[in-house]
Amino acid sequence: MSEGSSDDCNAQDTWVSFKDRPEWSDVKPIPQDDGPNPVVQIAYSDQFKEVFDYFRAMVAADEKSERSLNLTKEAAELNPANYSVWNYRRNILSELNKDLKGELRYISQVIEEHPKNYQVWHHRRVIVEWLEDPSQELEFTEKILQDDAKNYHAWQHRQWCIQQFSLWDKELAYVEKLLKEDFRNNSAWNQRHFIINNTTGFTPEVVAKEMKFTQDYIRKAPNNESAWNYLKGVLSEKKLCEFPSLMEFCLELYSKHIRSPFLMACMIDNYEEMLEQGKPKKEENLQNATQLCNELAEECDTLRREYWQYMSRSLASKYGTDVSGDS
């Protein structure tokens, strides 16, 4: 929820005070009004104080000019999280009909310096919207994701561009490249789901293909939570019993003494569905499911013991013939 961390405020070395800038001599700076008994007072540098005093003067006069545009740059550099500055900058850009390609170059630099800031990404999005030109966006987000494959803002911007400008064609290939580099990249798995969901949809053919694709990755690393979750996503809103190969796959891994909590959770889901649907061998299914829960609670996933014990109790009370109960 926070508006950013407190580690990236760098000042310029060659800064010139406004008192020594004749082009600003006509402007009366407006100091911040914290009231007579201020709280949470920040020890602003002289530069910070002065730049924002002049910024307030510009906003108050609603001045949209070259100098106020340049001032927003100075202000944004001192505090890139100041959304008022970015908003005012956009007002000036549109009023003065500025060259937006230049603005895109500028915001690229700022984003590379502050890749985890809401305001700078939003600014980029508005500029791209105004330009109606997404031609640099896939490449740019790819560059940011190279440094941090999980950068949420970059993914958000990328998804927006893809959806807005129908750039679906090459995205699946990009995701496959990312997964080859790191098959635990959860953002890439999510992107895969996003693309398929918005293009072909999860038709029976696609589901079969995706199951195979995911199971191959799971075989490589049975503890890869991202792949298991994706598999669950592929099969969501579907009846697991229509995919008997899933349980066969699970049992195969289980028989190889693999005790990944995700594998076991998937098996429990399977047994639970069989119970729900009143399939034969009720007692056996229930026993298998509760046994898995207990194994998870006591050995394989002890940190979530409470949850697995709850699952076990809840299955037993729902489907057990013997209503002994412990309450």
Catalytic residues: 116
Assigned token pair, 285? 């299914």
Confirm or reject binding of residue 321 to another protein (CB under 8 A). Answer: no
Tell me which stretch binds another protein (CB under 8 A): 30-38, 127-135, 139-147, 206-214: 30-38
Confirm or reject binding of residue 172 to another protein (CB under 8 A). Answer: no
Element (H, E) at 122: helix 118-131
**HEC assignment per residue over 234-303:** HCCCCCHHHCHHHHHHHHHHHHCCCCCHHHHHHHHHHHHHHHHCCCCCHHHHHHHHHHHHHHHHHHHCHH
The DSSP symbol for 304 reads G
Contact 50, 31 (CB under 8 A): no
Task: Give Cα separations from 92 to 23, 122, 145 (angstroms).
Answer: 18, 16, 31
Confirm or reject binding of residue 163 to another protein (CB under 8 A). Answer: yes
Total residues at the site for another protein (CB under 8 A)? 70
Burial class (CB in 10 A: 0-12, 13-18, 19+), 289: buried
Distance CA 271, CA 253 (A): 16
What x-and-dash track marks residues 82-101 binding another protein by CB under 8 A? Answer: xxx--x--x-----------
Length reported for the chain: 327
Confirm or reject binding of residue 168 to another protein (CB under 8 A). Answer: no
Of residues 270 through 299, those in contact with another protein by CB under 8 A are: none
Least spacing, CB of residue 143 vs another protein, in Å:
19
Q: Which of 136, 223, 229, 291 binds another protein (CB under 8 A)?
A: 229
Indicate the residue among 118 and 243 with the shorter CB distance to another protein.
118
Q: Which of 17, 21, 34, 112 binds another protein (CB under 8 A)?
A: 34
Collapse the DSSP code of 103 into the 3-class scheme (helix H, G, I; strand E, B; otherwise coil) and give the result: helix
Q: Which of 108, 198, 223, 291 binds another protein (CB under 8 A)?
A: 198
Which residues of this chain interact with another protein, rule CB under 8 A?
Answer: 1-9, 30, 32-45, 48, 52, 56, 59, 78-84, 87, 90, 118, 121-122, 125-126, 152, 155-156, 159, 163, 186-187, 190, 193-194, 197-198, 229-230, 232-233, 236, 303-307, 310, 313-314, 317, 325, 327
